Amino acid sequence: MALDRKTVIDIATLARIGIDPDNVDDYASELSKILKFVAQMDQVDTEKVEPLTHPQDRQLRMRMDRVTETDQREGFQQLAPAVEAGLYLVPRVIE
Amino acid sequence: MKWEPVIGLEVHVQLLTRSKIFSGASANYGSQPNTQACAVDLGLPGVLPVMNENAARMAVKFGLAVDAVVNQRSAFARKNYFYPDLPKGYQISQYEMPIVGRGHLNIVVDGELKRIGITRAHLEEDAGKSLHEDFHGMTAIDLNRAGTPLVEIVSEPDMRSTKEAVAYLRKLHTMVRYLEICDGNMQEGSFRCDANVSVRPAGQAKLGTRTEVKNINSFRFVERAIGHEIERQIDILEEGGEIVQETRLYDPDKNETRPMRTKEEAHDYRYFPDPDLPPMAIDETFIEEIRQNLPELPDAKEQRFKDQYQLNEEHAHQLTQSRANADYFEATAGASRGAPKTVANWIVGDLSSRLNDENLDIGDSPISSRMLAGLIDRIEDNTISGKIAKEVFRAMWEGEGEADAVIENRGLKQITDTGEIEKIVDDILAKSRTQIEQYTSGQEKIFGYFIGQVMKATGGKANPKQVNEILKKKLRAHLFTDGP
């Protein structure tokens, strides 16, 4: 499967990654190579194989419904570029 | 052309757990911003989500209550999108393998029973909250809600009118509160609804293009928002236009929907299994234990109220809308000598309207079930009339004590002494020559005037049945003596 320029630009938009338009063709060809490599798996007959959701044969561990965390807002907010009244401030987003 | 609306609902139900779905932070509502957002909720590097068993339990409980398939194996997936109130850049949800599969809910609209299919119900985490006002052009983020457990319940597109959509939503609302898995508080956002709406020419099998209407956060808005969207689509189609598949936001102030994002801008969520969370396995014992502990559900309770208490359809339905209401009724009926129907009348009538006026739940009623039973007993044993009972009810509400105390203190005991009533009737008749003439000349409506006078003279305390009999007897005497 080969990726075209438009798909590469779409993926970059979804991932919020800025890419140089000059590099789009290179990305397209490199990503296509990766996909081609992975596509070898399409050769395997998976008709009777149950879909795998996790590589390890393990089950989800569950915890009791108890509050174990304490308020550490002050510490966490020291990592944030801007806070006010206990809230994290980010550039304005309105959908 | 006649158009048929097709409606499906997606309802987000916040689960009443103590802690978050994947962290040990408190899931309480209304705390100071960000004081309940721990490292896992903030999506800091190196953290690992650990599933809350109680959230799984509640999802299974719901599944069993709607006769759904409970999947013993389900999986969590990452739903990827960027928004500042979702710090990880993905929401942990369930995609291909939800915990609850196909089920159904029964609704009754205009006396007709209809089964609404439930496609699935899956577990996921809630996002935080964004505040866009008053932060000098910035957006402020509160992540207390991030990680709160949700069950998203997706219905089949089985509803054909706004009425059916409201009935389904109400039933679901009743159900989750019966199960005690959600407080159902729409204002605080613990019960949220999105609607998928399309229209098609009546009789056509193929579905029309649908839009998704978001931001419907009260029962009143559900009806208005969906109703408005149906009309908007019909208008477009009748003018020869086409419906664009898009997400629309309902604005209750303007009573309109407006586009939020079109399909082109729609998110491509790139779901994939969350590598942090292996598949969730639920064994038969776990499911069976939950099944054994299911409460009596609304439909069963409604039927039992009809059978056991001979209540009519409406009373049985209204009294079983919440467990608290139903319990109050049963406690009152059990403590009172009055007929269950009388008890139901008081609860559905006076008590409910008063609770409504004051915006109270039945649990906060100043009149307990025992007090109401006491009042009803005083009507039954003829101590007071039904009319005086309303006064006693108001006094009890205002905190004047039990029915007996109110009756005693206010001197409301009914006059049942025949001699006393006769004396009062005689006095009134002596002063009512004109009215008696009208009565004897055939104007029987004037009878109400005499009743009114007696009630006025006794402050409403005369036993109405006796007044009626005595008045009739005395007037009949006039009919023969004064008649032509």
pLDDT of residue A67: 98
B387 band by pLDDT with thresholds 50, 70 and 90: confident
> For the residues A49-73, what does the mean pLDDT come to?
90
Cβ contacts of B139 on chain A, cutoff 8 Å: 89-94
pLDDT of residue B87: 93
pLDDT of residue B461: 83
Q: B266 and chain A: CB distance < 8 Å anywhere?
A: no
Cβ contacts of A66 on chain B, cutoff 8 Å: 18-19, 24
Whether residue B477 sits in one domain with residue B357: no
pLDDT of residue B411: 84
Q: Which of B51, B142, B280 sits opposite A87 (nearest CB)?
A: B142
Whether residue B392 sits in one domain with residue B304: yes
The alpha carbon of residue A76 is apart from the nearest alpha carbon of chain B, in Å, by: 8
Cβ contacts of A64 on chain B, cutoff 8 Å: 53-54
CATH of the domain at B443: 1.10.10.410
Closest residue, chain A, to B144 (C-alpha) = A87
Distance, in Å, from the CA atom of B360 to the CA atom of B354, rounded to the nearest integer, reads 8
Q: Lowest mean pLDDT: which of B186-190, B322-326, B470-474?
A: B470-474
Q: Which of A10, A54, A86 sits opposite B273 (nearest CB)?
A: A54
Residue with tokens 């109405």: B464
Please list, in sequence order, all residues whose beta carbon lies within 8 angstroms of the beta carbon of residue B75, skipping any fewer than 6 positions away: A53, A54, B94, B95, B96, B97, B273, B274, B277, B279, B280
Whether residue B371 sits in one domain with residue B258: no
> For the residues B123-139, what does the mean pLDDT come to?
91
Please list, in sequence order, all residues whose beta carbon lies within 8 angstroms of the beta carbon of residue B198, skipping any fewer than 6 positions away: B5, B6, B157, B207, B208, B209, B210, B211, B233, B243
pLDDT of residue A95: 52
Residue with tokens 């009348």: B345
> For the residues B173-194, what does the mean pLDDT come to?
95
Distance, in Å, from the CA atom of B81 to the CA atom of B261, rounded to the nearest integer, reads 14
User: B26, A55: Cβ pair inside 8 Å?
Assistant: no
Question: Which domain-ending residue is among B410, B442, B460?
Answer: B410
Whether residue B370 sits in one domain with residue B474: no
Question: Which domain-ending residue is among B390, B410, B430?
Answer: B410
Closest residue, chain B, to A94 (C-alpha) = B132
User: B279, A64: Cβ pair inside 8 Å?
Assistant: no
Looking at the domain assignment, is residue A66 inside a domain? no
- Whether the CB-CB separation of B65 and B179 falls below 8 Å is answered with yes
Closest residue, chain A, to B27 (C-alpha) = A67
The alpha carbon of residue A14 is apart from the nearest alpha carbon of chain B, in Å, by: 7
Greater pLDDT, A2 or B96: B96
Looking at the domain assignment, is residue A27 inside a domain? yes
Whether residue B282 sits in one domain with residue B203: yes
Cβ contacts of A71 on chain B, cutoff 8 Å: 35-36
Question: Which domain-ending residue is among B271, B289, B307?
Answer: B289
Whether pTM exceeds 0.80 = yes
pLDDT of residue A18: 92
Q: Which of B55, B132, B281 sits opposite A59 (nearest CB)?
A: B281
Closest residue, chain B, to A62 (C-alpha) = B51
Listed by number, the residues of chain A in 34-93 with a beta carbon closer than 8 Å to a beta carbon of chain B are 51, 53-56, 58-69, 71-73, 76-77, 82, 84-93
Listed by number, the residues of chain B in 42-81 with a beta carbon closer than 8 Å to a beta carbon of chain A are 42, 44, 50-56, 75-76, 80
Please list, in sequence order, all residues whose beta carbon lies within 8 angstroms of the beta carbon of residue B165, skipping any fewer than 6 positions away: B7, B9, B159, B195, B222, B223, B226
B483 band by pLDDT with thresholds 50, 70 and 90: very low
Domain that holds residue A34: 5-42
Looking at the domain assignment, is residue A93 inside a domain? no
B135 band by pLDDT with thresholds 50, 70 and 90: confident
Torsion sign over Cα B113, B114, B120, B124: negative
Which range scores top for mean pLDDT: A1-5, A43-47, B158-162? B158-162
Looking at the domain assignment, is residue A80 inside a domain? no
In chain A, pLDDT over 90 holds for what percent of residues? 67
Whether residue B335 sits in one domain with residue B213: no
> For the residues B316-332, what does the mean pLDDT come to?
95
Looking at the domain assignment, is residue A83 inside a domain? no
Model confidence over B2-38: pLDDT tens digits?
A: 999 999 999 999 999 999 999 999 999 999 999 999 9
Distance, in Å, from the CA atom of B304 to the CA atom of B288, rounded to the nearest integer, reads 24
Whether residue B305 sits in one domain with residue B385: yes
Domain that holds residue B33: 3-289
Whether residue B464 sits in one domain with residue B400: no
Whether residue B278 sits in one domain with residue B406: no
The alpha carbon of residue A62 is apart from the nearest alpha carbon of chain B, in Å, by: 5
pLDDT at residue A41 is higher than 70: yes
Pairing state between β A62-63 and B51-52: parallel
The alpha carbon of residue A95 is apart from the nearest alpha carbon of chain B, in Å, by: 7
Q: Lowest mean pLDDT: which of A36-40, B110-114, B471-475?
A: B471-475
Looking at the domain assignment, is residue A12 inside a domain? yes
Model confidence over B36-64: pLDDT tens digits?
A: 999 999 999 999 999 999 999 999 999 99
Whether residue B211 sits in one domain with residue B168: yes
Counting the structural domains of chain B, the total is 3
> For the residues B209-228, what does the mean pLDDT come to?
91
Determine the 3-state secondary structure of A7 from DSSP: helix
pLDDT of residue B484: 43
Q: Which of B19, B33, B130 sits opposite A65 (nearest CB)?
A: B19
Cβ contacts of A92 on chain B, cutoff 8 Å: 132, 137-139
Displacement of CA A28 from its chain's centroid (Å): 19
Whether residue B242 sits in one domain with residue B260: yes
pLDDT of residue A11: 87
Cβ contacts of B97 on chain A, cutoff 8 Å: 53
Cβ contacts of B51 on chain A, cutoff 8 Å: 60-63
Whether residue B377 sits in one domain with residue B283: no
Could you please report the per-residue DSSP string of B413-480?
--B--HHHHHHHHHHHHHT-HHHHHHHHTT-GGGHHHHHHHHHHHTTT-B-HHHHHHHHHHHHHHHHH
pLDDT of residue B434: 86
Q: Which of A51, A64, A88 sits opposite B141 (nearest CB)?
A: A88
Counting the structural domains of chain A, the total is 1
As a whole number, the mean pLDDT across chain B is 92
- Bridge partners for B130 per DSSP: B141
The alpha carbon of residue B188 is apart from the nearest alpha carbon of chain A, in Å, by: 19
Model confidence over B72-96: pLDDT tens digits?
A: 999 999 999 888 999 999 999 999 9
What's the order of all strands across the beta sheet hosting B191-201? B103-109, B112-125, B149-155, B3-14, B191-201, B211-216, B246-251, B256-262
The alpha carbon of residue B162 is apart from the nearest alpha carbon of chain A, in Å, by: 27
